[in-house]
Structure 1
Amino acid sequence: MPRKIRILLALLLVAGMFGYRYWRDQRAGPADRPAASVAAEATKAPAIATPPPPRMFGRIAFRPCTLAAQFGPASVEAQCGTFSVPEDPARPDGRKLALNLAWVPAAADAEVAADAVFMLAGGPGQSAVDTYPQVAPAFRDVLKHRNVFLLDQRGTGKSNPLKCKPEDDAFDGSDLAAVRAATERCRDTLSRHADLRFYTTTDAVRDLEAVRIALGVPQLDLVGISYGTRVAQQYAMRHPASTRAIVLDSVAPNSLILGNDFAGNLERALDLQFARCEESVACTSAVGHPRAQLDALMATLRADPPLVRYRDAATGASREERLQPDAVAGLMRMYAYMPLVSSLLPLQLGEAAHGRYDGLMALSRMLGSSLGDQMAMGMQLSVICSEDASGFQADPDAEGTLLGNQFSEFLGAQCALWPKGAMPADFHQPLASTVPALVLEGEFDPVTPPRYGEDVVKTLPNARLLVLRGQGHNVIGAGCMPKLFAQFLQTADAKALDGKCLDTLGYVPPFVSFNGWEP
């Protein structure tokens, strides 16, 4: 969603809130009340409200808060608090981090289970507290029996966030020297208030266990989404007795080196998604053949990027820029995460085939601005450079693909400049455990494809893999999945789930015009 629209929505929500309060307070207006009462209220000194005492859960104090959605009007009423941990575990008297924590209490009349649910956000670099409202509907049945907690992993959200300057676009460019310079600026700025070696997955696991102990919860149910599945697997490895069950949505296996497979995974996902158009005469007649058009477009952009006039979605201003191949590759990758959104791509590729590039340019610029708002890039580098950089490899088969080997090349250059933390020797070993596990994958996922889930369940005898038809990345909210998810947390038995309700999931038809898909 464009930043301008997000701001307008926020203003409308604020206006609505104050409008309602004004209406409520004025229903019995001065004309309906005794004159003496009105005069007394006019001269009454405003009362100083005494804040209510904090609500304790274990040793952690919480106060009421509202978790606002990043996109759209949804919000969640919760309890918020902080928990202090040393930045460097070897220096308990050194710098402290106030970890941001939210608690969504179980239903008031619920028989609450002793274990607690923790949602672990993706990225690396996303805030669990900030992203929860978007997936909150998937937890509705879970809250009938369990408390849900959201911990901003150190370096994200409000837990000493490691964010690089949003105006520094060099991270998104194709100039390696500019990326190095931006990385150095970010490193030097963040190092003033953070030791960048201590913002890894291993540090996050240590924090999570400390929070569990402080809450007085005997065991955790971990719900990892994307990168959060790495945190969940590492926690289950290090603290098996404290782990009751795990849900791995769009799983990244422990053995995975982030970045190495990105190019191949994207090509596979795009081929699957574009096949929906190829199988439809109405689609190919209206917009052409998307895969061939994408290949031709990339060849054109690499040879001579066209100058494109478009309207900036954030400002509404008319702008001119050259459409670069990296911008289109990034757009294809991020839109492929959500088939509902990627259904726009065949139409836009058809437009580009006729020399109309403004749609692709506007979508690309809008995407870049929204991603920058969500991701703590410094924390992401601390994780990847500590845990994956030593395994970066160029893939000869990736040459000529949309992404090529740019991820490993650019991340390698950044990691050469970034401080690195320690990693356990068995960090990249598969999780081999009897822990009950529900593993979820989307058929069209461009970053964590179903084969990752197949690999993970091989060493988890009490696991079950569900591949959701026609879905992309982060599938816990699709169809009847929230019901199955809640049933699993109730029984801790994934194999007993009746997944037939997932058969009703369908495919999103590709757009054949700006009015939508075919009737």
Structure 2
Amino acid sequence: MLASIGAALLALSAADDSLRLGSLDFHRCELSQPRSAVTTAAWCAEFRQPENRQQPQGRQIGFRLALIKSEAAHVQADPLVLLAGGPGQAATESWSQVAGALGPARRNRHVILLDQRGTGGSNALRCDADKGVVEAAQAQALDNAAARTAAQDCLKALQAKADPALYTTTEAVADLEALRQALGGVKFNLVGISYGTRVAQQYAQRHADGVRSLVLDGVAPNELVLGSEFARVLDDSLRARFAACSQEEACKARFGDVYKELYEFREQLQKQPLPVSLRDPLTFAPLSHALDADTFSGLVRLYAYAPETAALLPLAIHEAAAGNAAPLMGQASLITDDLGASLTSGMGLSVICAEDADLLAARPEDAGLILGGDFVASMQAQCAVWPRGTRPADFHQPFRSDLPTLLLSGEFDPVTPPRYGEQVAKNLSRARHLVAPGQGHNVMGRGCLPRLLGKFVDSLQTTELDAGCIASLGATPFFLDYNGASP
């Protein structure tokens, strides 16, 4: 059966519009993406699983399942499987962002995209409160009472179609194994991004016989309690990035001590929010906001994710401190709108409330950091009213394996720093951890990494993989003004 996927698709002609893989019938389809008219040609199949496996005759989840076909003459039987981030992102909606990064790896392999239960086209736990809950988690812009109310409103909107307690990582792992069996028992090459690295480790921990290789990009160790170190990791990232500015003569002359100005401006906003007038970057409609300390901290965090936006931070902070916060707010509105469209906050709550919330504890040392300690209180307020699923006793045990594994980290990642990758790698006998210089969160599409990823999946080599090319990567030069990056 392992060769049947390749054989079945090789037999297709341009006129064919269906194929059967294992017990699944695939038909040509188009994948859409949020906030875009662009679609991607794919093959889709019906795949259903009980919402509650203890009640197999009860409510069923209809999953969005798609296959991106390799055009190779001889296709390998073991497909790539994309595990999206978040928690709350959907694989089919994330595909367009990672297609280029997986180009070399998928030349001889097909890609399986299964929207995790509660996301995308798999009974998404999305409601009108989504944007508010995302803000509560990402920017601490809501107080705890408002966050709790947003969670209650979201729950009321979802109760008719879902039991949120059944939308955890553990349930998603069971769905993935059911899919593998439906495909005929193939082996998966798992590609996990951010939260998807948790899914990948949990799956491989329980179904090692179903895995050929692992790629973990933006690694979240099993031991990690999601949210417990957000403030510390962000501060470490910002301190390191701004130290790089201080080491560049032009950047230092233009902005001085950016890290110091960051905290001084936040202190000003704590005393007096700054009125901001700007034009909506999409509609050009006039907007008025009050930039307060919590919103500012959240915006800084969002900017820190990618090297291109991180390169704007010294300028954006400096301009805002001088009274011109419109550029900061304008760019940030694009980022937060995209987050609201891609993240399914109800599913995110189902994951965190079951797997992490009871282990979160206030860290007094975080109170003085740019992000502060409000995330813990906010999540606990929401989880107090959210249905809580079951967490296996060994869920937070270190992942130990002899499976070939490639781990990828960005030097300045503000949420999953390189030390997380090192933490996971030390328990893996066939692992290689690559740190991309100057980069942020999720790096597999950067520089030569797509080629290295492809070589790894083809050969399963780790120590023999020649990764010297990543040394040419580096941070985007800092913007000295809004005309572009410095030379």
When normalised by structure 1's length, the TM-score is 0.87
Q: Given the superposition, is the C-alpha separation of residues 73 and 489 from structure 1 closer, same or farther in structure 2, using an over 3 Å criterion? A: farther
Alignment partner of 1:101 out of 40, 65, 74: 65
Instruction: Please report how far the alpha carbon of residue 314 of structure 1 lies from its aligned counterpart in structure 2 after TM superposition.
Output: 3.5
After superposing on structure 2, the runs of 4+ consecutive aligned residues of structure 1 that deviate more than 6 Å are 71-74
CA deviation map 1:152-202 (0-9, x unaligned)? 000000000001215763663332211111110101111110011110000
Query: What is the aligned partner in structure 2 of residue 60 from structure 1?
Result: 24
Query: What is the aligned partner in structure 1 of residue 40 from structure 2?
Result: 76
Q: Given the superposition, is the C-alpha separation of residues 122 and 285 from structure 1 closer, same or farther in structure 2, using an over 3 Å criterion? A: same
Moved more, 289-298 or 306-315: 306-315
Query: What is the aligned partner in structure 1 of residue 169 from structure 2?
Result: 201
| 3-state secondary structure, aligned to 1:130 | helix
Query: What is the aligned partner in structure 1 of residue 389 from structure 2?
Result: 421
Instruction: Please report how far the alpha carbon of residue 228 of structure 1 lies from its aligned counterpart in structure 2 after TM superposition.
Output: 0.2
Moved more, 489-498 or 201-210: 489-498
CA distance in 2, matches of 1:64, 1:242: 27
The alignment-based identity, stated in percent, is 45
Instruction: Find out whether 1:377 has 2:309 as its counterpart.
Output: no
User: Given that residues 163 and 377 in structure 1 are in contact (C-alpha distance below 8 angstroms), is that contact kept between their aligned partners in structure 2?
Assistant: yes
CA distance in 1, matches of 2:208, 2:407: 18
Instruction: Find out whether 1:160 has 2:123 as its counterpart.
Output: yes
CA distance in 2, matches of 1:282, 1:72: 39
**Structure 2 residue ranges without an equivalent (≥5):** 1-14, 136-140
User: Given that residues 34 and 341 in structure 2 are in contact (C-alpha distance below 8 angstroms), is that contact kept between their aligned partners in structure 1?
Assistant: no
The structure with the largest helix share of the pair is 1
What aligned pairs does 1:148-297 form with structure 2 within 5 A after superposition?
148-165=111-128, 169=132, 172=135, 173-297=141-265
CA deviation map 1:464-492 (0-9, x unaligned)? 11111111111111111111111111112
Matched to 2:76, the amino acid is A
CA deviation map 1:25-71 (0-9, x unaligned)? xxxxxxxxxxxxxxxxxxxxxxxxxx965322221122212334557
Instruction: Find out whether 1:347 has 2:315 as its counterpart.
Output: yes
CA distance in 1, matches of 2:269, 2:240: 24
What aligned pairs does 1:18-97 form with structure 2 within 5 A after superposition?
54-70=18-34, 76-97=40-61
Query: What is the aligned partner in structure 2 of residue 325 from structure 1?
Result: 293
CA distance in 1, matches of 2:197, 2:329: 33
| 3-state secondary structure, aligned to 1:251 | coil
| 3-state secondary structure, aligned to 1:418 | coil
CA deviation map 1:442-480 (0-9, x unaligned)? 001000000000100111011111111111111111111
Query: What is the aligned partner in structure 2 of residue 118 from structure 1?
Result: 81
User: Given that residues 162 and 190 in structure 1 are in contact (C-alpha distance below 8 angstroms), is that contact kept between their aligned partners in structure 2?
Assistant: yes
Query: What is the aligned partner in structure 1 of residue 5 from structure 2?
Result: none
User: Given that residues 347 and 512 in structure 1 are in contact (C-alpha distance below 8 angstroms), is that contact kept between their aligned partners in structure 2?
Assistant: yes
CA distance in 1, matches of 2:98, 2:223: 27
CA distance in 1, matches of 2:329, 2:450: 36
Query: What is the aligned partner in structure 2 of residue 130 from structure 1?
Result: 93
CA distance in 1, matches of 2:72, 2:211: 25
Q: Given the superposition, is the C-alpha separation of residues 170 and 80 from structure 1 closer, same or farther in structure 2, using an over 3 Å criterion? A: closer
User: Given that residues 276 and 510 in structure 1 are in contact (C-alpha distance below 8 angstroms), is that contact kept between their aligned partners in structure 2?
Assistant: no
User: Given that residues 301 and 323 in structure 1 are in contact (C-alpha distance below 8 angstroms), is that contact kept between their aligned partners in structure 2?
Assistant: yes
Q: Given the superposition, is the C-alpha separation of residues 413 and 431 from structure 1 closer, same or farther in structure 2, using an over 3 Å criterion? A: same
| 3-state secondary structure, aligned to 2:93 | helix
Q: How many residues align?
A: 468
User: Given that residues 241 and 412 in structure 2 are in contact (C-alpha distance below 8 angstroms), is that contact kept between their aligned partners in structure 1?
Assistant: yes
Query: What is the aligned partner in structure 2 of residue 39 from structure 1?
Result: none
What aligned pairs does 1:345-494 form with structure 2 within 5 A after superposition?
345-494=313-462
Larger of the two Rg values belongs to structure: 1
Q: Given the superposition, is the C-alpha separation of residues 293 and 226 from structure 1 closer, same or farther in structure 2, using an over 3 Å criterion? A: same
| 3-state secondary structure, aligned to 1:146 | coil
Q: Given the superposition, is the C-alpha separation of residues 418 and 73 from structure 1 closer, same or farther in structure 2, using an over 3 Å criterion? A: closer
When normalised by structure 2's length, the TM-score is 0.93
User: Given that residues 129 and 150 in structure 2 are in contact (C-alpha distance below 8 angstroms), is that contact kept between their aligned partners in structure 1?
Assistant: no
Instruction: Please report how far the alpha carbon of residue 89 of structure 1 lies from its aligned counterpart in structure 2 after TM superposition.
Output: 0.4
CA deviation map 1:224-276 (0-9, x unaligned)? 00000000000001101111111110110000000000000000111111122
CA distance in 1, matches of 2:255, 2:46: 53
CA distance in 2, matches of 1:370, 1:295: 27
Instruction: Please report how far the alpha carbon of residue 295 of structure 1 lies from its aligned counterpart in structure 2 after TM superposition.
Output: 0.9
User: Given that residues 74 and 133 in structure 1 are in contact (C-alpha distance below 8 angstroms), is that contact kept between their aligned partners in structure 2?
Assistant: no
Matched to 1:443, the amino acid is E
Instruction: Please report how far the alpha carbon of residue 286 of structure 1 lies from its aligned counterpart in structure 2 after TM superposition.
Output: 2.3
CA distance in 1, matches of 2:316, 2:222: 37
Instruction: Please report how far the alpha carbon of residue 77 of structure 1 lies from its aligned counterpart in structure 2 after TM superposition.
Output: 2.1
| 3-state secondary structure, aligned to 1:420 | coil
| 3-state secondary structure, aligned to 2:433 | strand
Instruction: Please report how far the alpha carbon of residue 407 of structure 1 lies from its aligned counterpart in structure 2 after TM superposition.
Output: 1.0
User: Given that residues 414 and 441 in structure 2 are in contact (C-alpha distance below 8 angstroms), is that contact kept between their aligned partners in structure 1?
Assistant: yes
